[in-house]
Structures are given as structure tokens and as C-alpha cells.
Amino acid sequence: MISFRPGLALIALTLAPALAQTAPADPGSVPLVRVKDARLPFTVSLPRTWVGVNLKDNLGGVTIVSRAQAGAPLMRLLFLPKNGKLLNLDTEFRNFEATVREAGASLKLQSQRPARYGGVAGTERVYAITGAKPGALNMRVWFGNGVRNFYSFQLTAPSAEFAKIDALFGKVLASVAF
């Protein structure tokens, strides 16, 4: 089992006031900028106006928020070395869901589908989350089972903003290359 502690994504939504950015009225119009860093096992194009945040959870990857406001949408593109372990994505999702519940939130699975990004196969789920501060959220999570790494790419956003931000997240995911 590999654990990403997804409850931190919910907590991170309250950290955004420490950041300074303003999102455009149409999230789909945000230009993307290519990010290539030797510390990452992938390259990705991220929204230019979003800001990185360090959740101090010692997870490898990138965490960004859209604006300096409590409840701002959050994207996480995380990886964890598998160290030769065989993973079952259904088990990983059960562990993920249990961790969200332990953080005091309720989640309802809205959809699930197989998805491949950058050539890595995985499973993608969308959840409605209630009981979290600052309010009702939606979360899109892709777990990918790479040769060397386990990947968790996540979007968490207030339900009212989710559809627009989800379209932007789709562009980010389409840009991933391993």
C-alpha cells in the first residue's frame, strides 16, 4: 500500500490566502507554461497564473493553487517510487477514500473511467465532497501505475467552479509526458 494522505489537499484549500495571484474570469483562457525539472519524472504544462504551494508533506511532485483566497482550486501532480512493489489501483482508491473520511469529509463517487496520460495507464475518478471547509467540493483524481512510480494527479475545487477548472485540468493532464 502507498499512502498519499489526500486529506492534505482539503487542508490546503485554506492555505491559499498566503499566496498572491488573481485568476482570470475564464479559467480556460489561462495560458499554460511548460515545466521541466530534474526532480520530476515527468514534464507538464501548468497554468501560468497559478502559484506553487509547499504543503510540507514530503511528497514528490507539484502543488499549485489558482489564487490567494480561501477555497481556491488546487492541483496536485504527485509521484511516489514503487520500489518494486505491485500496486492495485482499486486498493489505493479505497485507502484514499478512507483517508478523506478520516479528515472528517464525506465523499460520493460521481464517475470512474480508465484513463491514460503520457502513456501511463490508470484509473480516474470524480468525487463530490461534503463536510469539508470551506464548503462543498469536487475532486478529480487519477491514479497511474507507472513502471517505477505511482502517480496521483488531483484537482480539488469548490463545486461551483469545478466544471470550468476541470476543463483546464484536462489540458494540464493532456500535456503530461513521462
Residue 56 lies in a domain: yes
- How far, CA to CA in Å, does 119 sit from each of 39, 42, 150? 20, 11, 14
Residue 2 lies in a domain: no
Residue 120 lies in a domain: yes
Residue 66 lies in a domain: yes
Structural domain including 24 reads 7-174
Indicate which CATH number applies to the domain containing 161: 3.40.1000.10
User: Other C-beta atoms within 10 Å of 158: how many?
Assistant: 16
pLDDT, one tens digit per residue, over 124-176 is: 999 999 987 768 999 999 999 999 999 999 999 999 999 999 999 999 999 99
CA distance 131 to 128: 10
Query: Residue 2 has what pLDDT?
Result: 44
Query: Residue 68 has what pLDDT?
Result: 74
76 CB-contact burial (10 Å; exposed 0-12 / middle 13-18 / buried 19+): buried
Structural domains in the chain (count): 1
Query: Residue 42 has what pLDDT?
Result: 97
CA distance 72 to 67: 6
Query: In the chain, how long is the greatest CA-to-CA distance?
Result: 45
Amino acid at 92: E
Residue 72 grid cell: 481556491
Residue 93 lies in a domain: yes
Residue 1 lies in a domain: no
Cβ-contact 138, 128 below 8 angstroms: yes
Bridge-partner residues for 145, per DSSP?
150
Residue 64 lies in a domain: yes
Residue 129 lies in a domain: yes
Q: What value does the mean pLDDT of the chain take?
A: 86
